[in-house]
Structure 1
Amino acid sequence: MNANVSAGEAPPQAGRREWIGLAVLALPTLLLSLDISVLNLALPHLSAALGATSTQQLWIVDIYGFMIAGFLITWGTLGDRIGRRKLLLIGAALFGAASVLAAYADSATTLIVARALLGISGATLMPSLLALITNMFKNPKQQGLAIGVWMSCFMGGMAIGPVVGGAMLGTFWWGSVFLIGLPVMLLLLILGPILLPEYKAPEAGRLDLLSAVLSLATLLPVIYGVKQLAAHGFGVPQLLSLLVGLAVGVVFVLRQRRLEHPLLDLRLFGNRTLRAALGVALLCSATMGGVTLLVAMYLQQVAGLSPLVAGLWLVPSFVLAIVGNMAAPALASKFNPAYTIAGGLLVTAVGLVLLTQVSSTGGIALVVAGYAIAFAGTSPMGVLSTQLVVGSAPPEKAGGASALSETNGEFGIAFGVAILGSLSAAVYQGRMTDAVPAGVTADAAAEARDSLPAATNVSADLPSQLGGQLLDAARDAFTSSLHTVALVSAGAMVLFAILAVTLLRRAAPVAGGEGQPEETGRPAESVAG
């Protein structure tokens, strides 16, 4: 079946039904991001109530992201086969049930299981949401705006999470933060069948269960290895995890090439626009993922803010990002998308340069301003690269392409935290080599040189004057590491801007692979299958 719009025929305009449907899709998007940010506030409360060990606390936080990253490709492709609306509604029901289990968990183990189920169900929601948007909005300009709204809702959830979480924890018990999603999922289950279209690929074939297992066995060890690399540096367990994941990944790729109906159609990568958009998005996500970690650490460890107050200071960055998300499609309609993306990345570089001027005392305003500018500058890249990825695939592959885009982002952030976190640690440790004040014991000095949180713990056990001197030295060293990472990241953003112009200047926003030629002059459908 040829889904292409004939030459000269304008893509259909979305009507009121589609825009109301977008509002319905916006609610679970808001919830998914809010569920991430509120947990950071609830963690101390639930840890005390459930007696969670430090290892259990890590799993409570991390298992959600692991499951999302591991299942995105499987669920995205499954949605293409059984129906994207059907998968969305199944995921909504599972998410609601897992939220109740999490809210009333009576042990840390039960909560870890509930968080794993939340991640698995969240992985059904994310690609389904984006794929449905591409089905509902065929007009490229409207599609870009719809994707901007979708991404803005995700940003909005991150922004209001600390406020909502703080209010609920101040009034109710810790489990209440997990119940926020119940009304949202119930509304989605009621309105979804009425307002959202169903779409599944014709003749998509059966889901290959072995490929699903291989996909999970590829992504989970790689993501776990990268996260452990960020937390603990290079070591045998981390490298072994990465090697296992990569080895299974080779087996996964070989199997996809042999299957008539693969879990992941590798022919999608034959589209140069898709490859370039994924590559630029991966690099930018990695860079901003690392910078975000250091900014959050600065606000809490250097400026001494609580997680709630630090989250509130970051609200301006989310607000500016939302403005950028909404402006990106309009800018791309007047200028080449590649230049719109590149211009945003140059703005990001300016914001990162501001971070190089932050001092270890009284630097909150400057770090917030610099980060807000940098974060907002990545908005065109986020919206337009997503549209380029899903638009470069034919309609029957939209779910798989959406999952690719989101998995790409998850991996980019984890990779950036590992690489830039390691760079920050190296600079910090180098600065602390001769900065530990006299009078600190050798063991305490060695611990303080490891990281700023370690130095903070050591300083609390020292006499007040000596502890203050050590803490000041550690904060200066960390701020220097922030300067280095920001400077390197600013230079990287300039290079990424050049890369975007070079690779994407001949691409144009498309909708569902309809009627837009690839750079080679071939229809996107023929390239992607």
Structure 2
Amino acid sequence: MTTHNPRGQAGRREWFGFVALLIPLLLVSMDVSILYFAVPFVARDLAPSSTEQLWILDIYGFVLAGLLITMGGVGDRIGRRRLLLAGAVAFSAASLLAAYASSPETLILARALLGIGGATLMPSTLGLIRNLFPDETQRNKAVAIWTAALSGGVALGPLLCGLLLERFWWGSVFLVNVPFMVLLLIAAPLLLPEFKNPAAVRFDLLSALLSLAAILPVVYGVKQLAADGPETTTLSYVGVGVLMGVLFVWRQIARPGSLIDIDLFRRAAFSGSILVNLFAMLAIVGFAVYLTQYLQLALGMDTLEAALWSLVPTLVTGGLAPAAVAIGQKVNRAYVMAGGFLLAAAGFTVLSQVQTGTALWFVLFGGALYAGGLVAVISLVTGMVLAVAPPERAGSASALLESGTELGGALGIAILGSVGTAVYRGELASGLPAALPETAADQVRESLANATAVATQIPQAAGDVLTAARSAFLAGFDVAATTAAAIMLTGAVVAVVALRKAA
């Protein structure tokens, strides 16, 4: 294993290399959200079924989540720069395939291939940061920037999508990936050295398959809970995933160094950080859909306007990650994380008061509070995970953190989505016009998006339908925000209990 600077301090070349690593990070994070606003255009051109449309949206995240642990282990063995470059090629090829897809099946395949490429890029990026910055102070600064870029990429995805769709066809949202990946292919060999684990054992294919069989059913099942509730089929997916997870852990214990370093979980700083990160991602991902729907459907903004307003909380909170890192160098980081959770709880409490006619600045203020608090938590958690992980296992440690991120996001969508949907349907039980046809009423009860579509089809009842649906949505919005605030208070306690002695 080679190192850039034997004295432990990163120089100019390392920082330029770090800038190159932000390219795949931004693109992979943008691809999580960039397709949301393009769905109507894809539906018009490719005419996917409702099931195919769901797979077009979800397959990327499923494949990404399922392969993170495997790809983290692969990078530790073959070299993180080599895996990063292979991922850039795969991501570019899949982007081209997606941009020019002529059928729903082709687009689903391309999105799956993008997930494979993303799974190679994410742990390589974070693992290389661990190797580029052996000095903890410099590494914490890099992690703060990395966290801000990650959250910024997710926020920029819809904005970029809106700008492109104003002028080009829907495939352009994928085509934009290619020139940046070409830039990475040129810059990485010049700026990034190779890092791998010289003591790595032979790659364990069975462990890789077990990790995939554990994560995919759990993430899929948890997401389906939000849509279908606790049905037998949905719960069986989660049960199968948990069983496969037990088998995966048993194999890691039986074969030391197989795919992950199981000893890492015996360190409170690592296991506690994974848990705290799960709480943070649960809220930040789980509530994102509510803000998007509020801007687009409750306020009636167009795609680009909604995307621009959704950026405001991100821009306001951009400096909180570096500030949290700086404070964490002087104060126990567990207490700083708890403070971030409390700030997020305050933000959700503000959002729980949103009503019809509430000023937009009030909503954005609440969004900035919770986003800022959680970005601070995620930045500190990421720094702790990289600090405790041995440099030679940084890839697999990063993959474990990111797998927890995906699971936390799925839990957030399931928990907050289920709460909001239940309240929405309950409020509509007696709030719809009596003359509304039953089939239309059933559609309205599904979601605010469906209610908006029904209103365009039945102009004579449009006003009453939209008024009832938006009122019901805001009721669900408020209860989901209250639930998120309670979860954040729990997260603050967990951070202190789990990490006080380790941080």
Does the TM-score normalized on the shorter chain lie above 0.5?
yes
Q: Please point out which of 161, 173, 191 is paired with 1:177.
A: 173
- The RMSD of aligned alpha carbons is 2.1
Aligned residue in 1 for 2:428: 432
User: Aligned match of 2:89 in 90, 93, 97?
Assistant: 93
1:520 corresponding residue in structure 2: none
Looking at structure 1, the residues matched to 441 and 105 of structure 2 have their Cα atoms a distance apart, in angstroms, of 37
User: 3-state SS of the aligned residue for 1:174?
Assistant: coil
CA contact (8 A) 1:303 1:362 kept: no
In the TM superposition, residue 104 of structure 1 has moved relative to its aligned partner by 1.9
Residues 11 and 138, structure 1, Cα contact 8 Å, conserved in 2? no
| Residue matched to 2:290 | 294
- Confirm or deny that 1:136 pairs with 2:132: yes
TM-fit CA distance, 1:462: 4.1
Q: Which of 136-145 and 173-182 deviates more?
A: 173-182
Give 1:328 deviation, angstroms.
2.1
What is the CA distance between 1:93 and its match in structure 2? 1.2
**Matched letter for residue 501 of structure 2:** R
Identity %: 47
Instruction: Give, in angstroms, the shift of residue 277 of structure 1.
Output: 1.0
What does residue range 383-462 of structure 1 map to in structure 2 within 5 Å?
383-442=379-438, 444-462=440-458
Q: In structure 1, which of residues 500, 506, 522 is the aligned counterpart of residue 501 of structure 2?
A: 506
CA gap 1:77/1:312 in 2 versus in 1, 3 angstroms: same
Alpha-carbon offset, residue 390 of structure 1: 2.2
Residue 445 and residue 281 in structure 1: after superposition, are their counterparts in 2 closer, same or farther (change >3 A)? same
1:261 alignment partner, SS class: coil
SS in 2 for 1:234: coil
* Alpha-carbon contact 1:159-1:312 (below 8 Å) kept: no
Residue 340 of structure 2 corresponds to 344
Cα distance in structure 2, aligned partners of 1:372 and 1:15:
34
Q: Could you say which residue in structure 1 is the equivalent of 2:472?
A: 477
Shift of the alpha carbon at 1:461?
4.3
**Residues 37 and 426 (structure 1), Cα distance of their counterparts in 2 relative to 1, 3 Å cut:** closer
Structure 1 portions without partners, runs of 5+:
4-9, 509-529
Q: Do residues 46 (structure 1) and 42 (structure 2) align?
A: yes
Distance (Å, rounded) in 2 between the aligned partners of 1:344 and 1:19: 28
User: 1:49 corresponds to which letter in structure 2?
Assistant: D
- What corresponds to 2:373 in structure 1? 377
Deviation at 1:367, TM superposition (A): 1.8
Contact persistence 1:155–1:322 (CA under 8 A): no
Task: Summarize the Cα distance change of 1:444–1:179 in structure 2 as closer, same or farther, 3 Å threshold.
Answer: closer
Q: What is the aligned partner in structure 2 of residue 233 from structure 1?
A: 229
The residue number in structure 2 matching 1:149 is 145
**Offset at residue 134 of structure 1 (A):** 0.6
Structure-2 change in CA distance of 1:31 and 1:209 (3 Å)? same
Q: Report the CA distance shift for 1:92/1:461 in structure 2 as closer, same or farther (over 3 A).
A: closer
Paired letter, 2:239: L
d(CA) in 2 for partners of 1:281 and 1:484? 23
Between 296-305 and 272-281, the greater mean CA deviation after superposition: 296-305
Alignment of 1:347-358 (within 5 A): 347-358=343-354
**2:165 & 2:432 partners in 1: Cα distance?**
39
Aligned residue for 2:41, secondary structure, equals helix
Amino acid at match of 1:214: L
Give the corresponding residue for 1:514: none
Aligned match of 1:489 in 480, 484, 489? Answer: 484
Alignment partner of 2:159: what SS? helix
2:463 pairs, out of 464, 468, 473, with: 468
CA distance in 2, matches of 1:19, 1:430: 54
Residue 285 of structure 1 pairs with residue 281 of structure 2: yes
Give the counterpart of 1:127 among 109, 117, 123. 123
Mapped contact 1:85–1:196 kept (Cα < 8 A): yes
Unaligned runs of 5+ in 2: none
Distance apart, 1:354 and its partner CA: 1.0
> Does the 8 Å contact 1:95/1:122 carry over to 2?
yes
> Which one-letter code corresponds to 1:109 in the other structure?
E
Partner residue of 2:356? Answer: 360
SS of the residue 1:334 aligns to: coil
**What is residue 312 of structure 2 aligned with on the other side?**
316
Cα distance in 1 between the residues matched to 2:316 and 2:496: 24
TM-score in terms of structure 1 length = 0.89
CA distance in 2, matches of 1:203, 1:172: 50
Q: Which amino acid aligns with 1:239?
A: L
Deviation at 1:219, TM superposition (A): 1.0
- More divergent stretch after superposition (240-249 vs 35-44): 35-44
- Aligned counterparts of 1:105 and 1:292: Cα–Cα separation in 2: 28
| Alignment CA distance shift 1:110-1:324 (3 Å) | same
Structure 2 matches for 1:57-68, cutoff 5 A? 57-68=53-64
Distance 1:451 1:179, change over 3 A: closer
Distance in 2, matches of 1:39 and 1:463, equals 30
Q: Which moved more, 1:147-156 or 1:401-410?
A: 147-156
Q: Indicate conservation of the 8 Å contact 1:18/1:195, yes or no.
A: yes
Instruction: Give 1:430 deviation, angstroms.
Output: 2.3
Deviations 1:289-330 (A, max 9, x none): 222222222222211223332221110122133221222221
Q: TM-score, normalised by structure 2?
A: 0.94
Distance apart, 1:69 and its partner CA: 0.2
Q: Could you tell me how far apart the structure 2 residues matched to 1:135 and 1:349 are?
A: 35
- Matching residue's letter, 2:476: S
Contact 2:280 2:378 in 1 (8 A): no
1:194-220 deviations in Å (ceiling 9; x for gaps): 211211112211111111111111111
Change (3 A) 1:183 1:442: closer
Paired letter, 2:487: A
The corresponding residue for 1:199 is 195
* TM-superposed deviation, 1:455: 3.4
- What is the letter of the counterpart of residue 86 of structure 2? I
Name the aligned partner's letter for residue 331 of structure 1.
Answer: I
In the comparison of the two structures, how many residue pairs are matched?
500
Q: Is the 8 A contact 2:268 2:502 kept in 1?
A: no
> For the residues of structure 2 that align with 1:161 and 1:453, how far apart are their CA atoms?
20
**Cross-structure match for 1:268:** 264
Alpha-carbon distance, 1:459 to partner:
3.9
The structural deviation recorded for 1:91 is 0.7
Question: One-letter code of the match for 1:328?
Answer: A
1:131–1:398 CA contact under 8 A, matched in 2: yes
